[in-house]
Amino acid sequence: MSGTAQVQAQSRAVAAIDDPILVVRDVHKHFGGIKASNGVDLEVGRREIAGLIGPNGSGKSTLFSLVAGTVAPDRGQIRFDGHDIAGRKAYTIARLGLARTFQIPALFDNMTVTENLLAAAAEGQWDGARQRADETLALLHLEAVAGNRASDLSGGQQKLLEFGRVIMRRASLILLDEVTAGVHPNIRKIILEAIARLRKEGTSFFVIEHDMEMVRNVCDRIIVMDSGRVVTSGTFDDIVRNSEVMQTYLGRPQ
Ligand code: ADP
Ligand code: MG
């Protein structure tokens, strides 16, 4: 099969996902002359862990911003859990059950770890928040620093807390933007175990990740972006077999 035919076959496989929680169709976003999204088409299945990879500047974080509502698309459709969300406000989309982390954690520096968790629940689901905060502290191994200010945490612990704030919102789809980048292997392991546990409980994940080892171990399916478009998608093995894609992805400096 030629490279192009293979890409087309895989695009059809994407369209065949039944019961998607997220559907993105022909989404465009230009920043001046830069086409950060240039006709993005993709789906994320319910209870799926979908990985998003691609060279620096290929439009991954922009896509997350478009889905989460912090940036409005120029055109195109975005459906989340049956709702049309393209161009809707971020807080509206968050209330529908979508949550994201940022590359740089957005925490309340002067509040304690527990208070940061409770504040996240207050923005979303307050019922049972105290118990959920305790469970989240245990899940993320943050019990020993529960009373510490967020600003006193290590960088890795801040990433854990950012993830904890997302967990507190009881989102049905969680977008993680390079959540394991630059963190200690112990913290990475905690994050990966938490993702596995939440998925078992029914949460879907869409993760931007540079670490191919993590992509291989965690993602059910991988979506590859380049120059504002989805180039292909498939299992890790499908993607590795498609040497053209690997060259696109690995052949450029990150
Ligand atoms: P990635 O996350 O894949 O590295 P981004 O989505 O951050 O890529 O960026 C895609 C392109 O859009 C880049 O060329 C980037 O410089 C540009 N871009 C992203 N956000 C903005 C913005 N707010 N204003 C102008 N250009 C932007
Ligand atoms: Mg990015």
Q: Where are the domains of the chain?
A: 1-8+19-97+173-179+205-254
Q: Is the dihedral of CA 152, 158, 163, 169 positive or negative?
A: positive
Whether 3 and 244 have beta carbons less than 8 Å apart is answered as yes
Report the atom number in ligand 1 closest to the C-alpha of 64.
6
The predicted pLDDT at position 211 comes to 83
The three-state (H, E, C) secondary structure of 47-110, written as one string: CCEEEEECCCCCCHHHHHHHHHCCCCCCEEEEEECCEECCCCCHHHHHHCCEEECCCCCCCCCC
> Among 65-74, 199-208, 240-249, which stretch is predicted with the lowest mean pLDDT?
240-249
The protein residue whose alpha carbon is closest to atom 7 in ligand 1 is 61
Is 10 a residue whose pLDDT tops 50?
no
Per mean pLDDT, which range of 43-47, 113-117, 245-249 is the poorest? 245-249
Whether the CB of 105 sits within 6 Å of ligand 1 = no
Whole-prediction pTM: 0.87
pLDDT category of residue 124 using cuts at 50, 70 and 90: low
What pLDDT, on the 0 to 100 scale, is given for residue 249?
62
What is the CATH architecture assignment of 1-8+19-97+173-179+205-254? 3-Layer(aba) Sandwich (3.40)
pLDDT band at 248 (very low <50, low <70, confident <90, very high): low
Residues 126-149, mean pLDDT to the nearest whole number: 95
pLDDT score recorded for residue 180: 84
- What distance in angstroms lies between residue 103's CA and the mean position of ligand 1's atoms? 13
Instruction: For ligand 1, say whether the CB of 91 is within 6 Å of any of its atoms.
Output: no
| pLDDT interval class at 139 (50, 70, 90) | very high
Q: Which of 125-129, 156-160, 178-182, 240-244 has the lowest mean pLDDT?
A: 240-244
Q: Is the CB of 31 under 6 A from ligand 1?
A: yes
Does ligand 1 have an atom closer than 6 angstroms to the CB of 170?
A: no
